[in-house]
Chain A
Amino acid sequence: MFNFFLLILIYSGIYALMALGQNIITGYGGMLSLTQAGFFAIGSYATAILTTRFGWSFWGTLPVAFLLSALFGLLIGLPTLRLKGDYLAIATLGFGEIVRNVLNNWDSLTNGPMGIQKIPMPILFGYTINPYKKYAFLIMIFIFVLIAYLLFQRLARSRMGRALTAVREDEIAAQAMGINITKYKVYAFILGASVAGIAGSLQATFTLSVTPGTYTFMVSVMVLCMVVLGGMGNFKASILGAFIIQLISYFPQLTGLSGSIPAQFQQILFGLILVVMMIWRPQGILGRETRRYGGAAGNGKGGAQ
């Protein structure tokens, strides 16, 4: 039981990374993107293929997962960012499906629907971080989440965060104020993608096997739910949202009722939560983070993580 709770925490951490990325894209940039599953998959397979085929260590594959997702973020971002709202959502949703289908069918590289097994465990200074003994793994995941959180938080409080917010609020006015809106939208997209790649890498080394079936459209929707539930434009809220959604999705198993509650129940619950949130608290649990400026001293404080 307690072990199971640790598992939920680990998954919360992995999803929190994706949610942080989604928050910079959707919460700050205001772009409704549904690509996270695609980048998640790219990160996972980068680690899986490099460790099993080429004998790389997990740590060596991390930067590859990061850069590869960032590259795809750039490639997807450039053409699709002309679109807005629902149209962007549809276009980016297509990307996730393309990635999954490629993984499913490129047998020689990805082993198709069978997936890749026997991914080695990460070793740090001679100590094996064994996913079956969850503590060490949990600590590792949360170090990643913490680093990502601090970086994103600082970014959001810099001129870039302000520029992105301006782009979200009014693109035309932002342009007229000298902000290169395409540049900032693509930046946000690349950042969001690359952190999802890292999450994918961690997922691969945690489950020790990857199959295309993991990276469905539902993953992107779940990540988006996390951001909306927690509160858009607030990185703490994204992490909180990730935890709550994970808790809900494992609710039947956690209460030992998985026999009597059908698996579809969690999707009903997601929907219900979102409807209730939209009625009573559309800004999310924590709401958007606003900065106060009170003289130079207060301003300086805002800059420190």
Chain B
Amino acid sequence: MILLETEALTRAYGGVIAVNKVDFSVEGGLITGLIGPNGAGKTTLFNNITGLDTPSSGKVLFNQKDITGFPAHTICRMGIARTFQNIRLFKELTVVENVMIGRHFKTGKSETKGRFFNAINSYIRLKAEEEQIYERASDWLDFFDMGSMKNELAKNLPYGRQRELEIARALATDPKLLFLDEPAAGMNPQETDHLMATIRKIRDLGITIVLIEHDMKLVMNICDTITVLNYGQKLAQGTPRQIKHDPSVIEAYLGKEEE
């Protein structure tokens, strides 16, 4: 089943066409890799899907619903979460608070209905709600084995942990689809192995994953399907084995062989 699809998605910045008529599709339940040389438009594609940027033309369909140009917070609420290439944690907040932010929109929904009743019991409700958010956030931290770091400030965590915290925060929104933008960037081989195991664990929870990554070992190992972008255009799509042997992909990465 196709969970997410873009139809001829284009994003131009003046004369520069960062993403050019890309048809990108994500199969539910799988891990999809998005690779390509630097400047190929991978992050731009992510930003246009997740609402941080608005496509110049083309469509984004999520569960067959057109979500093109929706604001980022709406898209997140629909079940698409993401992390960032350059870590964007709330640095001055504690670890658990960072994850609690991810639960933010899951609560307070009743604000619109039954206002009067809520005005009376809101204090009790708020307290219960806060506890609930806290519990769920703690669960996600335990998932990443970070339970003991709850009250550390996010900025004081080691680099690898900061990357994991960002994933935990994204997962706290209960996404159906998770976008990871270079999750292994700057990690050593042990950390990368650990990350691979984590990504598989997340997939086993039934969450569909799309990841941008330059670490070919990671991509070839865990992705079920790979899409290659080059100069804003889709170059190839297929299984890791197909991609590895695709001549156009090899050319994009290594250049053309001299006759």
Give A residues with C-beta under 8 Å from B.
158-159, 162-163, 165-166, 169-170, 172-181, 288, 290-294, 296, 299-300, 302-303
In the bound complex, what is the Cα–Cα distance between A22 and B9 (angstroms)?
43
Q: Are B94 and A290 neighbours in the complex by a CB distance under 8 Å? A: yes
In whole Å, how far is B104's beta carbon from the nearest beta carbon of chain A?
Answer: 6
Instruction: Confirm or deny: B3 has a beta carbon within 8 angstroms of a beta carbon on chain A.
Output: no
Q: Are B73 and A179 neighbours in the complex by a CB distance under 8 Å? A: yes
In the bound complex, what is the Cα–Cα distance between A138 and B256 (angstroms)?
83
Besides A179-B73, A293-B151, 12 more A-B contacts (Cβ < 8 Å) are: A158-B126, A159-B130, A166-B93, A166-B104, A174-B90, A176-B50, A176-B84, A177-B81, A177-B173, A299-B130, A299-B131, A303-B126
In the bound complex, what is the Cα–Cα distance between A296 and B127 (angstroms)?
10
In whole Å, how far is A2's beta carbon from the nearest beta carbon of chain B?
Answer: 41
Q: Are B102 and A177 neighbours in the complex by a CB distance under 8 Å? A: yes
Number of B residues near A (Cβ < 8 Å) is 42
Nearest residue (CB) in B for A165 is: B93
Nearest residue (CB) in A for B77 is: A178
**Of the residues B82, B84, B131, contact of A296 by C-beta under 8 Å:** B131
Q: Are B134 and A299 neighbours in the complex by a CB distance under 8 Å? A: yes
Nearest residue (CB) in B for A174 is: B101
In whole Å, how far is B49's beta carbon from the nearest beta carbon of chain A?
Answer: 11
> Which of B50, B151, B170 gathers the greatest number of chain A CB atoms within 10 Å?
B151
Nearest residue (CB) in B for A299 is: B134
Q: Are B126 and A173 neighbours in the complex by a CB distance under 8 Å? A: no
Nearest residue (CB) in B for A293 is: B96
Chain A residues, CB < 8 A from B193: none
Q: Are A303 and B52 neighbours in the complex by a CB distance under 8 Å? A: no
In the bound complex, what is the Cα–Cα distance between A169 and B101 (angstroms)?
12
In the bound complex, what is the Cα–Cα distance between A165 and B101 (angstroms)?
10
Can you list the 5 inter-chain pairs with the closest CB atoms, starting with the nearest? A178-B76, A169-B90, A175-B72, A173-B88, A178-B105
Nearest residue (CB) in B for A169 is: B90
Instruction: Confirm or deny: B89 has a beta carbon within 8 angstroms of a beta carbon on chain A.
Output: yes
Tally of A-B residue pairs with Cβ under 8 A?
108
Chain A residues, CB < 8 A from B134: 293, 296, 299
Instruction: Confirm or deny: B213 has a beta carbon within 8 angstroms of a beta carbon on chain A.
Output: no
Q: Say whether, besides A159-B104, A175-B71, A292-B151, A169 and B93 are in contact (CB < 8 Å).
A: yes
Chain A residues, CB < 8 A from B210: none
Q: Are B84 and A159 neighbours in the complex by a CB distance under 8 Å? A: no
12 contacts between A and B (CB under 8 A): A159-B107, A159-B129, A159-B130, A169-B89, A175-B52, A175-B71, A177-B76, A177-B81, A177-B169, A288-B92, A290-B153, A291-B97
In the bound complex, what is the Cα–Cα distance between A291 and B135 (angstroms)?
16
Instruction: Confirm or deny: B133 has a beta carbon within 8 angstroms of a beta carbon on chain A.
Output: yes
Q: Are B105 and A179 neighbours in the complex by a CB distance under 8 Å? A: yes
Nearest residue (CB) in A for B88 is: A173
Chain A residues, CB < 8 A from B170: 177
Instruction: Confirm or deny: B201 has a beta carbon within 8 angstroms of a beta carbon on chain A.
Output: no
Instruction: Confirm or deny: B31 has a beta carbon within 8 angstroms of a beta carbon on chain A.
Output: no
In whole Å, how far is A178's beta carbon from the nearest beta carbon of chain B?
Answer: 4
Q: Say whether, besides A288-B92, A300-B131, A293 and B77 are in contact (CB < 8 Å).
A: no
In whole Å, how far is B62's beta carbon from the nearest beta carbon of chain A?
Answer: 15
In whole Å, how far is B173's beta carbon from the nearest beta carbon of chain A?
Answer: 6
> Which of A163, A170, A292 gathers the greatest number of chain B CB atoms within 10 Å?
A170
In the bound complex, what is the Cα–Cα distance between A166 and B150 (angstroms)?
17
**Of the residues A159, A172, A293, A299, contact of B52 by C-beta under 8 Å:** A172
Chain B residues, CB < 8 A from A175: 51-52, 71-73, 76
Chain B residues, CB < 8 A from A296: 131, 134-135
Instruction: Confirm or deny: B39 has a beta carbon within 8 angstroms of a beta carbon on chain A.
Output: no
